[in-house]
Amino acid sequence: MPAPWVCAALTGRRGRSGHPRISRGLEVNPTSQGVAREGRASVSRPATARRLSVLLALAISAFAFNSTENLPIGLLPLIAADLGVSVPSTGHLVTAYGATVALASLPLAQVTRGVPRRYLLGGVLTVLVSGTVVTVAATAYPLLLGARIATALAQAVFWAVTAPVAVGLFSPAVRGRVIAVMSVGGSLATVLGVPAGTWLGQRDGWRVPFLVISVLALLALVVVAALLPTSRPEESHAAYAAEPHTGRFAVVLIATTGSVTGMFAGFTYVAEFLTGPGGFPAGAVGGLLFVFGLAGIAGVVTVGRVLDRSPRGTLALTVGGQGVALLGLCLFARQPGVVVGLLALLGATAAPVFTVTQARILQVAPGRTELAFAANSATFNVGIALGALLGGLILPAYGARGAFGLGGAVTMATLAVVLGEPLLTRRPTPARAAA
């Protein structure tokens, strides 16, 4: 039975017993995956529970993938000392992972677009389990790097197909909430997975956190293999967008790239910002980042409840809020109370941006949605790298405060594109690209 918070996030209502109701608002679309096999009658509670269980398993998978990607950041010295390599070389474990996801997302989505999703996700999670097990057992740097790259290839496929799969299990009316549940899983990796993994690795050795992730991934694999319907991806109502439009899709990709670039231009150097112009002691950084992370989860959950009503308006609101927070941190860096509030605002608005762009893609993708999601994932990773690069370039001359100012300027320029979408996309494009 799925966790109650998943039900509550999707339905927003509770039954007489106080438990979330799952029978209303979550009817499986008659064209969704596997429904024909279960009859034409209204979907039973057991059938709905199975789909909620799959959704929870996919959210756990998102948590596992994102934790795997970022865990080495807090464990670099331990890994370097254990394998006898330099810390900068060990840092390539993170760089190579992100670059692989960015470069492989679109090609792999194209190659695998005809594979039934139960088999594809089962294979992807098998690679995740195997990759983390090899990571635990690795005694040489090349083997560890190879395991990381293999896992990154699996993650590239996962983020391309998981949203259409999850959304396709439920009614189109709750698309935003379904994506929000997935995003909470990914966001928890930042708030809980990486800090807890770093603590566990420092206490019991850097391999132990990866072992824990392999167990979580194995549990998710079992649920997906047992409960996800076997069907062709094109049979889902989420295979194509509701209102395909090439120009609007381009605006979504610009929004993703610009907002992520702006965010990481400043946030990459948040520790230096907080202990430098912010005036906070080094010991306070962890707590402040925890506040940032909690605000991010709250933002994702809140946005998920309103996203289905106005994806475009929600995108403008989140990007604009992120820009205000980044510029505010630059301007009010020496006012600790204001910094804490703006850091929370940054988390609450930056974290949901990916969620909102995913939902927007389900509206405007010009072709198959998994290819559009792959493009969005690739641009997200490009934005991370580009933001860190731009922030690093401005850091020597203007410091971390200047990096946040640059990030705010980039974000506000992105907001202008989002708000100008009606003018930029006046001419409609073909309703649907060939599958």
Residue 390 sits in a domain whose CATH number is 1.20.1250.20
pLDDT of residue 198: 83
pLDDT of residue 96: 87
Domain boundary residue, one of 216, 235, 254: 235
Q: Is residue 390 part of a domain?
A: yes
Instruction: Flag whether pLDDT at 41 surpasses 60.
Output: no
Q: Is residue 5 part of a domain?
A: no
Instruction: Flag whether pLDDT at 107 surpasses 90.
Output: yes
- 67 plus 214 within the same structural domain: yes
The residues near 13 (Cβ < 8 Å, ≥ 6 apart) are 20, 21, 24, 25
- 87 plus 157 within the same structural domain: yes
- 279 plus 391 within the same structural domain: yes
Q: Is residue 109 part of a domain?
A: yes
- 314 plus 369 within the same structural domain: yes
Q: Is residue 174 part of a domain?
A: yes
Q: Give the CA radius of gyration of the chain.
A: 21
Which one is predicted more confidently, 12 or 399? 399
pLDDT-based confidence at residue 325 (cuts at 50, 70, 90)? very high
Total number of domains constituting the chain: 2
Rounded mean pLDDT, 47-71: 91
Alpha carbon 222 to chain centroid distance? 22
Rounded mean pLDDT, 127-146: 96
- 257 plus 229 within the same structural domain: no
- 222 plus 76 within the same structural domain: yes
Q: Is residue 11 part of a domain?
A: no
Instruction: Give the pair of three-digit tokens for residue 133.
Output: 């097990």
The residues near 265 (Cβ < 8 Å, ≥ 6 apart) are 387, 388, 390, 391, 394, 403, 404, 406, 407, 410
pLDDT of residue 377: 86
Rounded mean pLDDT, 409-428: 89
Q: Among 136-140, 316-320, 342-346, 362-366, whose mean pLDDT is lowest?
A: 362-366
Domain boundary residue, one of 198, 216, 235: 235
Looking at every residue in the chain, the average pLDDT score rounds to 84
Top mean-pLDDT range of 37-46, 189-198, 372-381: 372-381
Q: Which of these, 422, 263, 236, lies nearest to 343 by C-alpha position?
A: 263
- 319 plus 193 within the same structural domain: no
Q: Is residue 387 part of a domain?
A: yes
Instruction: Give the pair of three-digit tokens for residue 175.
Output: 């698309």
Instruction: Flag whether pLDDT at 389 surpasses 50.
Output: yes
Distance CA 30, CA 32 (A): 6
- 226 plus 258 within the same structural domain: no
Instruction: Flag whether pLDDT at 25 surpasses 70.
Output: no
The residues near 120 (Cβ < 8 Å, ≥ 6 apart) are 112, 157, 161
Rounded mean pLDDT, 290-300: 89
pLDDT of residue 271: 83
Which one is predicted more confidently, 135 or 370? 135
Q: Is residue 213 part of a domain?
A: yes
Instruction: Flag whether pLDDT at 133 surpasses 60.
Output: yes
Q: Among 251-265, 289-303, 316-330, whose mean pLDDT is lowest?
A: 289-303
- 88 plus 210 within the same structural domain: yes
Rounded mean pLDDT, 148-153: 96
Q: Among 188-192, 326-330, 364-368, whose mean pLDDT is lowest?
A: 188-192
Owning domain of residue 167: 46-235
Residue in the block written with tokens 């007489």: 16
pLDDT of residue 28: 46
Helices (H) and strands (E) counted in the chain, each on its own, are 16, 0
- 182 plus 275 within the same structural domain: no
Q: Is residue 191 part of a domain?
A: yes
pLDDT of residue 13: 46
- 383 plus 335 within the same structural domain: yes
Domain boundary residue, one of 235, 269, 290: 235
| Single pTM value for the model | 0.77
CB atoms under 10 Å from CB of 245, counted, come to 21
- 143 plus 106 within the same structural domain: yes
Distance CA 181, CA 183 (A): 5
Q: Which of these, 113, 54, 380, lies nearest to 239 by C-alpha position?
A: 113
- C-alpha distances in angstroms, 369 versus 102, 173, 186, 232? 17, 17, 20, 14
Cβ atoms 255, 418 nearer than 8 A: yes
DSSP string, 272-290: HHHHTTT---GGGHHHHHH
